[in-house]
Amino acid sequence: MGALLDLALRKDIEPTDHLAAGCDLPPLSATQEAARNEVLARLDAHPSVKRTFVTRFEGDVLIVTLAIRDVGTGELAIPADSLNRANLADFDALLSCLEQPGTA
């Protein structure tokens, strides 16, 4: 998953350009592409925002699709058993991590 995130964060490479980058990654699924389009649309709609994300559960994994303005998009996979779906504090902690200022 790390190589996929590294590749997705390169702004000069589109999701379909993975073969040109020397990586043998599968194309994005329809669900992944929809999430990617959603986070990019949120950035377009809010020019002052630097990062946006959407989440979804796929089986026992929480998928976070993240867009960072002028950097790229990527997905984080978090094992669902590492958080309590009924405890909003767990999701608040995730949100706090994604909102931390950084170099992006």
Q: For residue range 44-59, what is the model confidence (pLDDT) as tens digits?
A: 999 999 888 899 989 9
What span, in angstroms and rounded, lies between the C-alpha atoms of 73 and 59?
Answer: 22
Nearest CA to 79 out of 94, 98, 67, 101 is that of 94
- Give domain status of residue 8, yes or no: yes
- Give domain status of residue 104, yes or no: no
- Give domain status of residue 65, yes or no: yes
Per-residue model confidence (pLDDT) at position 86: 78
Residue 50: domain span: 2-99
Per-residue model confidence (pLDDT) at position 22: 58
Q: Is 29 left (phi over 0), alpha (psi -120 to 50) or beta?
A: beta
What span, in angstroms and rounded, lies between the C-alpha atoms of 50 and 99?
Answer: 10
Q: For the whole model, what pTM was predicted?
A: 0.67
What span, in angstroms and rounded, lies between the C-alpha atoms of 15 and 63?
Answer: 17
